[in-house]
A and B are shown apart, each in its own frame.
Chain A
Amino acid sequence: MIEIENLSKTFTLHNQGGAIIRVMEGANLSVRPGECVALTGASGSGKSTLMRLVYGNYLAAQGTIRVGGVDVANAAPREILALRRDTLGYVSQFLRVVPRVSTLDVVAEPLRRLGVNGADAHGRATWLLTRLNIPEPLWALSPTTFSGGEQQRVNIARGFAHPYPALLLDEPTASLDADNRAVVLDLILEAKARGAALVGIFHDAEIRDRVCDRAVDVTAFSPGHAA
């Protein structure tokens, strides 16, 4: 489902003397449907960089990133937009929303974009928010004023609203209590059971051991380490 081959990434800082920073070289990764792969490595080793490359936030210097049938590293913006709408989800650490939009609408948005009608999309959003223990009085409010943990749960609900065949998870349980961690764990296991390919960064070793089939240390993709 996700096939990364010989992927490299550099940053060129034009306003700092044109310094070129090589951050990744020769990365390879393959994730099958129903499989969950954990990215590991110390802070700054390139876990988030790899996730952003797969989602198309970062432009690859070299290599291919195939998700479904699309090579994200070389696709037109329009193809990446379609991929993100239909196939590839991303639960980031930070919630980024239009202020004033209700939590229910924020969670339902990925489904509305796929053409699901308002009632069905809200139904699914309601179910997810309930599972993630977001109190009902908050649903009509914008999540911009919520606590960190609540925002993260809204972000997770949004990420799981549509059953994406491929899903990227950036520390989905970082600021959650035990009960909510268990809910997220179940959501991830359910996604695997329906055949989703998952790639995640999990600092929480217990969660990582329970959901991941294997771990890939991205330190191996640092420039200099590449064989």
Chain B
Amino acid sequence: MTPLLSVDGLTKTYGAHVGCRDVALDLFAGEVLGIVGESGSGKTTVLNCMAGHLLPDRGRVVFDTRADGPRDVLRMSEPERRMLGRTDWAFVHQNARDGLRMGVSAGGNVGERLMAVGARNYGRIRATAEDWLTRVEIDAARIDDRPTTFSGGMQQRLQIARNLVTGPRLVFMDEPTGGLDVSVQARLLDLLRGLVRDMGLSAIIVTHDLAVVRLLADRLLVMKSGEVVEHGLTDQVLDDPQHGYTQLLVSSVLQV
């Protein structure tokens, strides 16, 4: 079975400082992979290098494209990569404002991505946008409102709708529940889990929240100082951590 995404030797330095070193991972269709580690461990660097937001110094990021099979994304032309970013890939930012156009209506935010892949019929675009707002539990009556009038949790759900409307196969998420109220977090987790299951999505989720990965991720990578120190089944890594750093991380969680 060909992995949907296969990363190898991914290395990024910022001058003398190591962002990430020799990171390797495979992601299969329908799988959710969590990447955990403390602030500065390099998890966001890895995510940005994979998603094409940062250019790594070395390494390969091979994606199983629909048309041509496995291809190294880092060696694609810019237009090809941008097309991928609009169709098969999605990126959910920690801060919804980074992933939304704040001056455009909620419906426009969702419709824009559809138009970028060729949708032209206004009525159909609006209907699809309405459908997606409902799926992420935003009242369709708010379709013409700007995201500036939305709460943080609603903005995050709108960002998810905007990202998933084109039916991507791979979603990158950077702390998707970070900065949200816990009750809103739970709602978002439930939503994400349902979407992953029903759409057969694969996802890579970067977070420092071990409770989030336990509920969402099938597999886990633990990063420290730019390197992967442990990987495996999520509950195995959390229940029987092998590396000293993971043991420290797991035993440091406050019990509620």
Contact = CB atoms under 8 A, between A and B. Distances in A.
Contact of B214 (A80, A81, A96, A112): A96
Interface string B222-249: 0000000000110110011011100110
Interface of A is mostly: loop
Nearest to A78: B28
B247 A100 contact: no
A101 B31 contact: no
B193 interface: yes
B218 A77 contact: yes
Contacts of B236: 56-59, 77
A97 to B, nearest CB: 8
Interface in A87-123: 96-101, 112-113
Nearest to B1: A78
Contacts of B193: 98
A99 B187 CA distance: 8
Interface string B155-192: 00000000000000000000000000001001101100
Interface string B192-214: 01000100000000000000001
B31 A78 contact: yes
Interface residues of B, number: 25
Interface residues of A, number: 22
Interface in B44-100: none
Given A57-B239, A59-B232, A98-B189, 10 more contacts: A52-B240, A56-B235, A57-B236, A77-B232, A80-B233, A81-B31, A81-B218, A96-B214, A98-B190, A113-B197
Interface of B: 28, 31, 183, 186-187, 189-190, 193, 197, 214-215, 218-219, 232-233, 235-236, 239-240, 242-244, 247-248, 251
